[in-house]
Structure formats: structure tokens, C-alpha cells
Amino acid sequence: MILVGESSLEPVEALREARHRTMELLADLPDELLRVPLAECINPPLWEFAHVAWFQEYWVLRRLFGEPPIDPSNDRLYDSAAVAHDARWTLPLLDRRGTVDYLERTLERVVDALRLRSSRATAYFAALATFHEDMHAEALIYARQFLGYPAPSFVGFERSVPAAGGALPGDTEIPGGEMVLGARPEDGFAFDNEKWGHPVSVDPFRIARAPVTNAEYRRFVDDGGYLRRELWSDEGWAWRLSRDATHPTYWRRSDDGGWQRRYFDRWVPVRDDEPVVHVCWHEAQAYCRWAGRRLPTEREWEFAASVTPEGEKRRYPWGNDEPTESRANLDRVFGDVVDVGAFPEGESPWGCRQMLGNVWEWTADAFGPYPGYLTDPYAEYSKPWFGTHKVLRGGAWTTRARMIRATWRNFYLPHRTDVVAGFRTCAQG
């Protein structure tokens, strides 16, 4: 079974549901918006949509069931491991109609094949294809934000807002101890970078109950934090100079002297109690130096999110029951970030809130393998990025609930600001 919000779906239903969400992201984009300039953090939209179909075809139909390719020429177009990022703009890609047809035909063939056979292997590759599609759907939302496109049709500008919002200041003190860091075989599907859970020691630490808010980050901006060289690493300062950055990427001054942020193609007020979002790892580090704080390590973050005072390891901060709309801002339900004080039902045992959902959270650590690491069949998922990327935890409002859990490791280059990412901090010492 694959977790989806408040329920569980069988593999076939999960694949169909993921494809429906993908189609939603394509359906409301006119043809002129499918032609985009070359940029590091996005793919040509038609390439990305067809890549999702290719991946599903390759791993389920061809690798699992041994079927011939639907079109052998697609390997030279849509294999992300073989087709360099910058080359994707110059390839003879399928047009919109061809892309939709490829998505539909691939899904139906995969569904037919899965219905005839059921095994541990079929469940694994069905989950791999589903989560891969979920991740690309999230990336396509990031792309729409980066390009200033309208919000997807399923995201209403007049969004619903959960109750019990506001700020949530202060730290919680965690005594540390022993924990199993990472996924365990009994947890179900896990990507190779989570394997396997291994014992680690965690020293006592103090961690913020909530992510850094806009009000907190605005004080850093207004204090000239972007112009103070001593707050930035060499790499971070080079990034800041390359952007001439004096504030977060999607912020601007409003006519009344306050701040606004761009939400897709609209400008909205920067709300004090929402988490700062679309900041990169370098910005998070500079803020921490300014505030006399630091980013949590991965093991600290996972301890605060999933270990009880009695030493029990949970799947989610609130326990082992699946995510719901009252526990976490996931699955695009609320259409944007919400106040950091929302979702008291989703607190961790230590009183930390929103450790799943709302914004991905940068950690201090570089992305690397766990002890005894072995690549899974999809070897290109993790290994090529070890050492160059930074780890994020927890998921965002754009993340599928069925995918996220406390052991999940996301990873991006430290200068990326298109990701729906914020951060929480720890006390020094």
C-alpha cells in the first residue's frame, strides 16, 4: 500500500492519482508558456512531462517486465542520466499532443501489466514510479513560481487557512541520547540514501519550536544582513554578489515601505508569522550567524521530529498514524505556506511544530551516504549528488503526504532559491 493523505491506495490507484495530478499541471498552461528560457533550476516543461512517462515505462515495463520500448528514440530524449540538462532545450521533443499521448499510453500499459502480476518487486517499482512522479510534480510547481506563471489551477488564490495560527517563539530543550538514524526495513519503501537506519549518539541541544518567520528574517534584512561580509561564507558571499542580493529572491519593497513577496504571478504581503520561504542554504547560514544561532544537524533534526522521551522512534512527529489536514500542511491543500503556529496536532514529542509540511528545512549537513550504503536499482537518484548538495528535511505544502516521513532526505545545491524551503535554528553550544 502507498500512503496518500488520510488513506492508502493500492499501487495501480496511486499511479493513476499521480498521473491525474501531473495532467492538471499541464492542462492549464497555454502553448506559449511551455516555451521557456534555459535556466539551471528548471527543465523545458514538455521535456519534464515526457520524462515522467519515460521513467515509468523504463522501470516498470522494460526493467521489471522485460517489455520492448514504446519508442526506442525516446531514450535519447528523456533519460535524465544520459541527456545533459542544457541539451534538453535543443532536442526534437514531442509536442503537447504527443506528450499527452505518451503519458496516457504509458500509464495504461503499466496498469495492465501490474494488474496481471503482483509481487514484492512489482510493489517496489510501482512505488518508485509513483514517488518519482510526485517529486517531478513538486518541481513543476517550483518552476511555475520561478517563471512567474499563474498558480496551478488546483491552487486558489483565496486560500483556506487552518485554525490556531500565529507565531510560536522559543526553543525546546532536548536531552539527546541514542537513536536509529534513517529508515528501517519494516518502514516500507525507502530510497537508498535513507538506508539503513544505524545507531548514532545525539548530544543535548536546544532547537526552535518553529521555523524562522518572516518577521524574524525581516529584522536580519533591515539590519543590512545581506551587506555584512562577516556573516557570509566565501561561497555564500560569492553567491550574494552574483545576484546583488539584498533580500530574499521573491521579495520587494511595497509602496508603504513594507515588504511583499511574489506568489506565482501575484504580489502578496509578507506576513509576519509565516515562515520565510524560498531562501537558500547560504542565506540560512548568514541569518544564523547574525542571530547567534546555527542550523540543526540531520541527526538533531530527526531526533526532534521522531524520537520520544522514552526512546521510541516514530514515523511522523505526532506518531505512526498517517498525515491529515489537521496535522500538517501537505498535498497542496492550503495552497501556500501558513503561520508557523498552525497544526498543534502535528507537534513532535518535544513540542516542535511543522516538522513535516509547510516548508522544507535546510540542515547543516552535506548530502552523503549512510554507513554501508549501497545503490538501489535507480543508481542515479542519490550517488551523483553526494558531497555537493545540502540536506533538507520535512517536506513543504507542495509535497505529497504519501511520500514524506521523518527519515526522508531531500537534497539541493546550496544556492537554490526556487525550492519551497525555509529553516529552523538551534542554540549555539
Classify residue 412: in a domain, yes or no: yes
Residue 373: pLDDT band by 50, 70, 90 thresholds?
Answer: very high
Same domain, 125 and 188: no
Q: How far apart are CA 127 and CA 221, in angstroms?
A: 42
Model confidence at 205: pLDDT above 90: yes
Q: Find out whether 55 and 43 touch, Cβ atoms under 8 Å.
A: no
Say if residue 19 is exposed, middle or buried (CB neighbours under 10 Å; 0-12, 13-18, 19+): buried
Q: How far apart are CA 278 and CA 392, in angstroms?
A: 13
Q: Three-state DSSP class for 361? A: strand
Residue 3: pLDDT band by 50, 70, 90 thresholds?
Answer: very low
For the chain, the straight-line distance linking the first and the last C-alpha, in angstroms and rounded, comes to 43
Q: How far apart are CA 133 and CA 182, in angstroms?
A: 23
Residue 5: pLDDT band by 50, 70, 90 thresholds?
Answer: very low
Share of the chain above pLDDT 70, in %: 96
- pLDDT score for 154: 83
Range list of β-strands (E), 10-77 = none
Top pLDDT among 163 and 403 is at 403
Say if residue 244 is exposed, middle or buried (CB neighbours under 10 Å; 0-12, 13-18, 19+): exposed
Same domain, 244 and 373: yes
- Return the CA Rg of the chain: 21
The C-alpha cell 516514530 sits at 314
Summarize the confidence of residues 90-94 as an average pLDDT: 97
Classify residue 155: in a domain, yes or no: no
Helices assigned H by DSSP within 195-340: 214-222, 234-243, 281-291, 298-306
Q: Which residues contact 370 (CB under 8 A, 6 or more apart)?
A: 181, 182, 193, 194, 195, 196, 198
The predicted-structure confidence for 400-413, as pLDDT tens digits, reads as follows: 999 999 999 999 99
Same domain, 142 and 168: no
Share of the chain above pLDDT 90, in %: 92
Same domain, 407 and 308: yes
**Virtual torsion, Cα 284, 287, 289, 290, nearest 10 deg:** 180
Same domain, 176 and 228: yes
Distance of CA 110 to the CA centre of its chain: 26
For 233, phi then psi, to 5°, come to -70, 165
The last residue of a domain, from among 115, 147, 179: 147
The last residue of a domain, from among 99, 114, 147: 147
Model confidence at 125: pLDDT above 60: yes
Q: How far apart are CA 307 and CA 303, in angstroms?
A: 5
Classify residue 87: in a domain, yes or no: yes
Same domain, 167 and 313: yes
Model confidence at 8: pLDDT above 50: no
Summarize the confidence of residues 404-429 as an average pLDDT: 97
Look up residue 338 and give its amino acid: V
Model confidence at 1: pLDDT above 50: no
Same domain, 94 and 193: no
Model confidence at 419: pLDDT above 70: yes
Same domain, 218 and 322: yes
Neighbours of 199 (CB within 10 A): 9
Same domain, 118 and 208: no
Summarize the confidence of residues 345-354 as an average pLDDT: 97
CA–CA distance from 61 to each of 109, 116, 263 (Å)? 8, 12, 39
CA–CA distance from 9 to each of 1, 14, 108 (Å)? 6, 5, 17
Q: Which residues contact 51 (CB under 8 A, 6 or more apart)?
A: 43, 78, 80, 136
- pLDDT score for 9: 54
- pLDDT score for 149: 97
Summarize the confidence of residues 124-151 as an average pLDDT: 97
Hey, which residues does 252 pair with through a beta bridge? 260
The pairing of strands 205-208 and 198-202 is: unpaired
- pLDDT score for 158: 54
Residue 98: which domain range? 2-147
User: What's the number of domains the chain is made of?
Assistant: 2
- pLDDT score for 156: 58
Same domain, 168 and 142: no
Mean pLDDT value across the chain: 95
Same domain, 106 and 236: no
Q: Which residues contact 186 (CB under 8 A, 6 or more apart)?
A: none
Classify residue 135: in a domain, yes or no: yes
Summarize the confidence of residues 104-122 as an average pLDDT: 91
Summarize the confidence of residues 303-317 as an average pLDDT: 97
Look up residue 281 and give its amino acid: W
Look up residue 168 and give its amino acid: L
Model confidence at 144: pLDDT above 50: yes
Classify residue 154: in a domain, yes or no: no
Residue 322 has which C-alpha cell?
A: 498517517
- pLDDT score for 387: 98
- pLDDT score for 251: 98
pTM beyond cutoff 0.85: yes
Same domain, 101 and 140: yes
The predicted-structure confidence for 245-257, as pLDDT tens digits, reads as follows: 999 999 999 999 9
The predicted-structure confidence for 317-330, as pLDDT tens digits, reads as follows: 999 999 999 999 99
The domain that contains 16 carries what CATH number? 1.20.120.450
The pairing of strands 171-174 and 198-202 is: unpaired
Residue 117: pLDDT band by 50, 70, 90 thresholds?
Answer: confident
Angle at 290 between CA 284 and CA 293, to 5 degrees: 70
- pLDDT score for 159: 59
Residue 98 has which C-alpha cell?
A: 504527443
The last residue of a domain, from among 93, 115, 147: 147
Q: How far apart are CA 421 and CA 125, in angstroms?
A: 29
Q: Find out whether 294 and 423 touch, Cβ atoms under 8 Å.
A: no
Q: Find out whether 276 and 212 touch, Cβ atoms under 8 Å.
A: yes
The domain that contains 230 carries what CATH number? 3.90.1580.10
Summarize the confidence of residues 362-375 as an average pLDDT: 98
Classify residue 174: in a domain, yes or no: yes
- pLDDT score for 116: 85
- pLDDT score for 429: 80
CA–CA distance from 402 to each of 134, 297, 370 (Å)? 9, 25, 23
Summarize the confidence of residues 20-35 as an average pLDDT: 96
Residue 303 has which C-alpha cell?
A: 531526533
